[in-house]
Amino acid sequence: MGKHILVLNGPNLNLLGIREPGIYGNDTLETLCETVKKEAEIYGATVDCLQSNHEGALIDALHAAMGVYDGVIFNAGAYTHYSYALRDAIAAIRLPVVEVHLSDIHAREPFRHVSVIEPVCVAQISGLGVGSYLKALALLCEEEV
């Protein structure tokens, strides 16, 4: 049976397409989600997309993913760099979570080089635009994670 995957996007990612297109590209969040959903068909997987600008709502979404999804593709936005609460939520749920970023966080400002969620995620994929999400999908669908 195909896997059921949650794509979770954090703060400011609702503004994709408008927000700093030189860094994040011209695609909207809706387009990004459609692209991931289409790619999921290859694996016989199904994908739901959720976005919130609120840390607590992201924690609630991670908790609620337990028992519903087989894995999570998570772009935590700027929370990546300092949210121990999100890190604890990822560690608490018994689900593989892949950390993704559109931009290459290691090639930007020093504060973006640190990810406090990386140690509790199964992988970090950064700098491939929507390709980061597609690579994360392949990882969750093709490998025993």
Residues that bind ligand DQA (CB under 6 A): 12, 75, 77-78, 80, 101-103, 105, 112
Closer CB to ligand DQA, residue 44 or residue 131? 131
Q: Classify burial at 17, counting beta carbons within 10 Å of its beta carbon; exposed 0-12, middle 13-18, buried 19 or more.
A: middle
Query: Hey, is 100 helix, strand or coil?
Result: strand
- Least separation, in Å, of the C-beta of 2 and ligand DQA? 26
Instruction: Rank residues 87 and 101 by Cβ distance to ligand DQA and give the closer one.
Output: 101
Angle between helices 84-92 and 55-65 (to 10 degrees): 10
CA distance 7 to 76: 11
Q: How far is the CB of 80 from ligand DQA (least distance, A)?
A: 6
Nearest residue (CB) to ligand DQA, 28 versus 46:
28
User: What is the nearest approach in angstroms of ligand DQA to the Cβ of residue 96?
Assistant: 19
The rounded distance, in Å, linking the Cα atoms of 17 and 105 is 19
Least distance from C-beta 47 to ligand DQA, angstroms?
18
Are 28 and 16 in contact, with CB atoms under 8 Å apart? yes
Return the residue matching tokens 């609120």.
Answer: 54
Nearer to ligand DQA, 12 or 31 (CB): 12
Are 53 and 10 in contact, with CB atoms under 8 Å apart? yes
Query: Which are the catalytic amino acids?
Result: 24, 101
